Structure 1
């Protein structure tokens, strides 16, 4: 199960909502925590229902600033213990397993509030005996290597953070995918990048989830990158079964590939010819389909990887402008894909603005089964 935590810097932008949907689908996140939503509950509830999350808890913004939300699905049991402008503290369990504690945080950005926040966090529970993890934006640069550019790191800024770690016996989980989680998104000599978003845990929690891992995704539509907490580590990739897709029959090239695969095979025992031809035809169709239909997805993945590479090397000249251009291109690909599935699904009762590619995909598959007699 995956938990997504992201400082969205406002959820009123359609690009932010689209990015959230893509992050959510990547690892099938059972829990989503967003900070700095800057939106009222009524608006956020519309997005939640479109994304098919069953439950929610909100901390309303103060004016047009701050705001937290927590969404979760029914296979996750969540009991909210305490919430405020900087924290949603809860007890939860996944698939009926034993409960544990999780605090989703948005650390105060102002220096005069940091001491009170971290000291109050240390009094929530005795973490030497509790299964407890903390996820979110700490708003703390903890070490010199956690920052590049701008004013030099000052160790005193992290005093309250390390006091909390020592007092509560918490450790920091590794996060794969990059060193920095925030950028001021400027170019050349003005760029500043920092590691602000973290995953902390008690020793008891770490022993319960020994494979737990943090993953940093590409920063889209916000100056923060989202972090994913994977409780069971990276999922193993399984080899997919071969399935003949009906859309192939619409392409003349499909029949050409079948003819190539079914061509005579010299010097093969007659009892094995049928199996060898099936295998050869399958390989031809897989390669042809990947080249013809997989181009859009490969392009999106290549652009995503390029953005991640640039964000990991923020001091390269012209990095910021190139990242902006790549984000625009990636958004166009996502929108094109949404239109593609919307048209094929033939759903008249949803407007185009209700972009949910996964939902439209499911409807398309259902229609295909009905048309071919599988339902």
Structure 2
């Protein structure tokens, strides 16, 4: 920021994007120069810096006067944590501006301090900035290989505190060394990490990774005023727990008994469609509110156990036993549904870590939304859902081509000159598929495998094959 050219670009970026709260990192401004540089950015800004923790003052946090209120909570060499409030003084979220040091050992204090902060927090929080660290292999392109030791602390911090990366758009890598050809190294060392409360309140907020401009790092930008985009209807997805419910097989058998049809493929299509509709009704009528049933049975159990007569009233004791059984049943159903939707396969079915599961579901839903296209063919940013749909349609129409009355035939002679399968291999490929092969294929598929386009998965097929 000592460079007048870069300072002008930063000022222009803040103005064009109407930024209200910002956190420039690695400013390289000495303590005695901070007032002069801040004045050049404009009198409308208030600033908090971490010069009290390091004379390098790598983290500046600024906000526009009259647009927001900011209260300093914690500061260290590697972060500045504040509470961001609206103009009425109501807390909007907690914000940690991060600047991770360069070695694994130096960053250990960062993880410890952040862990202490987020553990006792019950309001939305975003931890955003330059972590100087990655937690998965795809976060780096070229350069030296990522080791487990490099990712372990970051990964443990995320999992232990039920944190997740915020939904993002734009560029994937946030930093590059500006090298040329094979010497260019890119990585995603700038991230926005959020807690469960953030996901619950701001699930539609997308962090945009913009072009780096004059910096080595991409600016990360988000707005709480993101429009809430309504999606279409939910596609059908078979829920595994339904296969274990009483009456499931009878319901499927009844739905499968469709009117006679001479075309086998059409009959299969009609039967699957009727079965799908029957399953939707079966689920909606009895199992669609599993989480509500869990809450209801918890309250019922609490009421029963608070009754002093429970110790000598046999009827109350029997009610307690039945309530416990129903609570366990509905809790397992609820966890099965949420686990399947979140696709978190490495947590056990009995692990009642519903807070983490629900966070994973909300993050997946937020990431699956196309809230914006960073650029269309003219380089414009699109946010309107209708225009986004038209742009996607136009892209694939151009990609797939147009109708043609004729197509160029394959040159058989040229094909025969190239590599070909042996006669034995050709015969093997046209052999009839046996029942044993089908059963073996089904048995090898994991229950958590994503369903096909029709929404049915391997659990449904296995249940019908029993």
User: Which category of TM-score, normalised to the shorter sequence, fits these structures?
Assistant: 0.5 to 0.7
Residue 90 of structure 2 corresponds to 98
Q: How much has 1:61 moved relative to structure 2?
A: 9.0
In the alignment, which of 19, 40, 43 is matched to residue 30 of structure 2? 40
Matches within 5 A, 1:340-359: none
The C-alpha deviation readout for 1:174-220, integer Å capped at 9, x for no partner, is 22111100101110111100001111111112222222111112112
Query: 3-state SS of the aligned residue for 2:172?
Result: coil
Q: Which runs of 5+ in 1 are unaligned?
A: 1-10, 237-300, 303-375
Residue 12 of structure 1 corresponds to 2
Query: 3-state SS of the aligned residue for 1:230?
Result: coil
Residue 308 of structure 1 corresponds to none
Query: 3-state SS of the aligned residue for 2:119?
Result: coil
User: CA distance change for structure 1 residues 168 and 63 in 2, over 3 Å: closer, same or farther?
Assistant: closer
Residues 1:30 and 2:23 aligned together: no
The C-alpha deviation readout for 1:139-192, integer Å capped at 9, x for no partner, is 112211111111112232111111111122111112211110010111011110
Q: Which runs of 5+ in 2 are unaligned?
A: 230-377, 380-466
Q: How much has 1:42 moved relative to structure 2?
A: 4.6
Residue 58 of structure 2 corresponds to 67
Structure number having the greater strand percentage: 1
Matches within 5 A, 1:1-375: 11-50=1-40, 51-60=42-51, 65=56, 67-74=58-65, 75-96=67-88, 98-99=90-91, 100-126=93-119, 129-233=122-226
Whether the aligned pair in 1 keeps the contact of 2:2 and 2:37 (CA below 8 Å) is no
**Which structure 1 residue ranges, 4+ long, deviate > 4 Å from structure 2?**
61-66
Whether the aligned pair in 2 keeps the contact of 1:143 and 1:155 (CA below 8 Å) is no
- TM-score (structure 2 length as normaliser): 0.46
Query: 3-state SS of the aligned residue for 2:85?
Result: strand
Whether the aligned pair in 2 keeps the contact of 1:128 and 1:202 (CA below 8 Å) is no
User: CA distance change for structure 1 residues 61 and 101 in 2, over 3 Å: closer, same or farther?
Assistant: closer
Give the greater-gyration-radius structure (CA). 2
Distance 2:138 2:180 in 1: 20
Whether the aligned pair in 1 keeps the contact of 2:68 and 2:87 (CA below 8 Å) is yes
Distance 2:227 2:141 in 1: 29
| Number of residue-to-residue matches in the alignment | 230
User: CA distance change for structure 1 residues 63 and 200 in 2, over 3 Å: closer, same or farther?
Assistant: closer
Whether the aligned pair in 1 keeps the contact of 2:163 and 2:193 (CA below 8 Å) is yes
Distance 1:87 1:38 in 2: 16
Give the CA RMSD over aligned residues: 2.7
Q: How much has 1:38 moved relative to structure 2?
A: 1.2
Whether the aligned pair in 1 keeps the contact of 2:174 and 2:186 (CA below 8 Å) is yes
- TM-score (structure 1 length as normaliser): 0.56
The C-alpha deviation readout for 1:199-255, integer Å capped at 9, x for no partner, is 11111122222221111121122211111122222799xxxxxxxxxxxxxxxxxxx
User: CA distance change for structure 1 residues 235 and 169 in 2, over 3 Å: closer, same or farther?
Assistant: closer
